[in-house]
Chains A and B, each alone.
Chain A
Amino acid sequence: MDAQKVDMFIMSNGKFFESHHINDIRERLIALDESKWAILSTTQFKDPTTTIIVSLLAGGLGIDRFMIGDTGLGVGKLLTCGGMGIWTIIDWFMIQKATREKNMQKIQQFL
């Protein structure tokens, strides 16, 4: 794919991925076929900032986990009062990383 397009993609979507993944994503996008660009540019990623706000407000009910697609862990959090409050607090610090990992999983379908 055109390097300019890839750089544009990285610039607008860089915040959705872990920093150590960005280089890898860039290289693999350049090697990618041009026909994938349309799907790739319209793919929606989960915003880590949104998830941490949700985690702070409704983390005790596991809504943050449901939001990023970890339904099983979300149910676990919901049924245990957010892991008796401890898991909620741990997730305040983990959820952004988890969101970025989920985004990485999503983009990996195209790479």
Chain B
Amino acid sequence: MTLNRNKLYWILFTACTVGYVWIYFISEKQFTENNQINGCLIKHFTNIPCPSCGSSRSVISLLNGDFIVALNFNPIGYIIVLTMLVAPVWIIMDTITKTNSLFNFYLKTENYLKKLKVAIPLILIIIMNWIWNITKGL
């Protein structure tokens, strides 16, 4: 299961497809009925929102152009939207030109994130966001 280029592209592409289907599915269903989406197992079982709870609602708010609302739901939605927009295009470009720029970028980012100077602030941000999620009662 060593991660190589094709495997990474496959995982990313599947994840993005599932993401699009999921967004389509819940935007059809209208989540406004008591503002809840049951997509998260952690929340389903423990009633405590996880760090990324609310990101579906955030993505949908972003699609509707409500940037502030999206930020209030969960700032992680911004990252997800960015990934979902950029990743498929990049993967298709790489497949056509037969390069592996995305894979190299992924490896570089991974090494960057492993540095303690970067990792610790990011972990703290995620934990703070989590606490904010719990106090918001998503």
Contact = CB atoms under 8 A, between A and B. Distances in A.
- Binding between chains A and B: yes
Interface of A: 60-61, 69-73, 75-76, 78-85, 88, 94, 97-98, 101, 105
Interface centre among A69, A80, A82 (most CB of B within 10 A): A80
6 tightest A-B CB contacts, nearest first: A85-B41, A81-B40, A72-B110, A71-B110, A71-B113, A60-B42
Interface centre among B2, B3, B41, B113 (most CB of A within 10 A): B41
Interface in B78-93: 79-80
B106 interface: yes
A78 B106 contact: no
Contacts of B126: 78
Q: How large is the interface on B (under 10, 10 to 19, 20 to 34, 35 or more residues)?
A: 20 to 34
A83 B53 CA distance: 12
Given A72-B110, A79-B76, A79-B79, A105 B2 contact: yes
Interface in B92-107: 106
Given A84-B40, A94-B1, A79 B80 contact: yes
B135 interface: no
A58 B80 CA distance: 21
